[in-house]
Structure 1
């Protein structure tokens, strides 16, 4: 009786396999955050904040657009906080039904981000007073972005996500290019290539998710 019921549902084993694969895809979409919601807030943060930094502290100390010196840093801080809260909520909603090893991996990965940025902030804060102003911005921007690139590549190793590795490698490359070009140009490279790369990553991830 059971055999006849199974045959009435699946005409051949391929139907069963396709059903399993379809349900697996539905489950992954349910527990995986929309890439646009995870990458676009950071992409816009980089585009706006580093763009303002380039306009205020341009190459060779030039000011391309007159604005108070505190505007770029204030914008960066506010946007980072907003993007962090937003993506944190999105990630928490997606992972609320996940338990076990995957949940622990996500928690440890998130703690690694916080520990890395806190450590660099303390180190850079200690040496900031002994550095000239142009190089100070390059140190903070280049160091923090270098950490972002490495953490993305580390995350790709945890979840075996090729797209995340490509994004981390891209951020690392454009960061090095910007640092070599020097103060001013570094902010422009991060705004256009870095922020743009995050926006593209969100779009590509969403298209593949569909």
Structure 2
């Protein structure tokens, strides 16, 4: 999985190192990716723990138990895959149109990570890359997840197939009532409610939330 961290700049390393440590060891088998070891991860964690959220744009999970849980929830066909960062608000700006443009060349599943201004981390795995559409798309592999207050995934209920729908002014996931996850055109605000598609709990304590950062892998 593609991994990125940059101490002192906008875009930091993510939890993918902990997902597949065998892919990111000193052997450096994967070219063009940053190689880190456990001591370096510990140092980075220490730096992050000492740094206020106002100084860092970060979507990261540093607890290996959480990262293992999410990795285990991924479909078998993508487990062990090397993921690459496709879109980041810190790097590409806050624009849903830019997100669509960055995901347009992709023909594989994507992982959406969101951090709100209260540092809650949640998101979605989509079987299809995000795009503007006239109807809903995706498969039953799609699911929502949250890390706060504890890690939970919300898989397809089988009740409907309203997995994902992309508009120029919003991105919507889940339906049959309120949306499970909704993001606005500027990727500044979003909403999360229980929906029939995933029978999920709201992903954040704030059902109407303000976004700090978004990443698509």
Q: Same-fold call, TM > 0.5? A: no
TM-score, normalised with respect to structure 1: 0.28
TM-score, normalised with respect to structure 2: 0.28
Q: If each structure's strand is expressed as a fraction of its own residues, which one has the higher value?
A: 2
Q: If each structure's helix is expressed as a fraction of its own residues, which one has the higher value?
A: 1
